[in-house]
Structure 1
Amino acid sequence: MCMVPLLDPPGLVEFQFTLSSTGLILLSGLGAFFVNWSGFTVMGSCSAMTHQLLGQAKSIITMLAGFVLLAQGYTLVTLISCLVGMMAIVAYTDANLKENAARSPDLQMKTI
């Protein structure tokens, strides 16, 4: 916060703090907290690859939400890249679940 007035003119000094802008800043901070918290929560219980893919999925979901909800402009290549990325994440998850199920058949759900 000490560097904001120097690096981001007009900076913190001239910013008009209103109830709505302060609320949005706090809401943004809360959202950032939960994004980081979710990353650290899964870090200890998942592989490095799974943690990396979770981060990519969060980025893709954020971009697609901006496109759908906020009419954010993206090129067709960017949107196709997001969809291909999500398909790759789903394929990895499916392969990982099948591998885990094959390793421990006693943990599989039994059907009647």
Structure 2
Amino acid sequence: MIAWLIALGLLLCLLIALVKLAQVSKRLKTVSDNYETAQWEARNQGRFSNEALNEVEEWKQRYVAERAAREEHEQEAETWRKRYMERIHEDSDSYKTQIGKDEESWGDREPY
């Protein structure tokens, strides 16, 4: 009688383990399907990301060109500003002295 109870208990444990295994395999299949779906979407969205990458590269090139033009414009404006200030202060010795000090190199200021 005890042997039958032990066998019945083992059979019950085996049955519970098989049910749990079926549940886990079902969840694993669901997760696997979700993973494959996400992977497929990522592959298909890759085309769109390549288009977006090309768009970003175009924007970068445009930005670099605009920045170069702006820097050139700023240099030209600085040149015109200096000419204007020189023309206004052409008779002022203090202005010429100040400009001369600004344009000296570091080595010219050092005593030998």
| TM-score for both structures, normalised by structure 1 | 0.30
| TM-score for both structures, normalised by structure 2 | 0.30
With CA pairs under 8 Å and 6+ residues apart, which has the higher RCO, 1 or 2? Answer: 1
Structure exhibiting the larger radius of gyration computed from Cα positions: 2
More helix by share: 2
